[in-house]
Structure 1
Amino acid sequence: MQSTRLNKLLAFLTSEPNDPFILYALATEYNSLNDTQQAFHYYLKLVEEHPSYVGTYYHLGKLYQKQGDPEKAIAIYQLGMKRAREKGDGHAFAELQGAYNMAAGLDYEDD
């Protein structure tokens, strides 16, 4: 059974098929429902069709990590940092850099 929220989002998608916020909300909802195939579908659609929607990169990278693919996660974080820098979004850049550092094993502390 699909969630009510998912049904509403799918209805919104019918009327606004290219709205990046709806695509992002769908990806996030599918991710929360553990439907990784659909989550990947919508996150990757965002990366391809709306590359400046920088929130995508963090969550897509985390999904790659959850699926045991740290190399793809690192590449997505790097691409997201580039897009955030181009957009002048320092907050998104910092979040992506933190996720990148952890995924790349650079999250060490000085003794």
Structure 2
Amino acid sequence: MSKRLLMLEKMTRDGSKDPFHWYALALEYAGQGRHDDALATFGALRAIDPSYVPMYLMCGTMLVKAGRLDEGRAWLADGIVVARGKGDQHALSELQQALAGAGGDDDEP
């Protein structure tokens, strides 16, 4: 197990509320093919900070690549709503492209 993974697991286990710690941990899990652990970590991050836009793109695309299309599309669509609400045009564009590439409607919510 990598030192980075161990450090991130410790920080989140110790109660870190820093969204980047949770995001980085989820990406580590995803990079190792541990999709269920990544999804659980993205879910925990969403509970801590539902406005953290990057998680929607990364979680959604991870799920789509893993063949979990409905779940992935749902994350991407939710991310579109959040990005629109924050006025984040760059993230909005990326999320719309990812959703369209996943066979979803890029105009969803």
Q: Shorter-chain TM-score: which interval?
A: 0.7 to 0.9
For 1:1-111, what aligned pairs fall within 5 Å after superposition?
Answer: 2-104=1-103
- 1:56-107 CA distance string (max 9 Å, x none): 0011111211221212211211110100011111111110000011112679
What amino acid is aligned across from residue 8 of structure 1 in structure 2? M
Runs of 4+ in 1 over 4 A off after TM superposition: none
Supply the distance in 2 between the matched residues of 1:72 and 1:96 (Cα, whole angstroms).
14
Q: Is the 2:12–2:22 Cα contact (8 Å) retained in structure 1?
A: yes
- The offset of 1:16, in angstroms, is 4.8
- 1:19-41 CA distance string (max 9 Å, x none): 11100000001111111121111
Provide the identity percentage. 37
What amino acid is aligned across from residue 80 of structure 1 in structure 2? G
- The offset of 1:44, in angstroms, is 1.3
Q: TM-score, normalised by structure 1?
A: 0.84
Q: Is the 2:73–2:104 Cα contact (8 Å) retained in structure 1?
A: no
Q: Is the 2:57–2:98 Cα contact (8 Å) retained in structure 1?
A: yes
Supply the distance in 1 between the matched residues of 2:19 and 2:51 (Cα, whole angstroms).
10
The size of the alignment, in residue pairs, is 106
What amino acid is aligned across from residue 26 of structure 1 in structure 2? L
Q: TM-score, normalised by structure 2?
A: 0.86
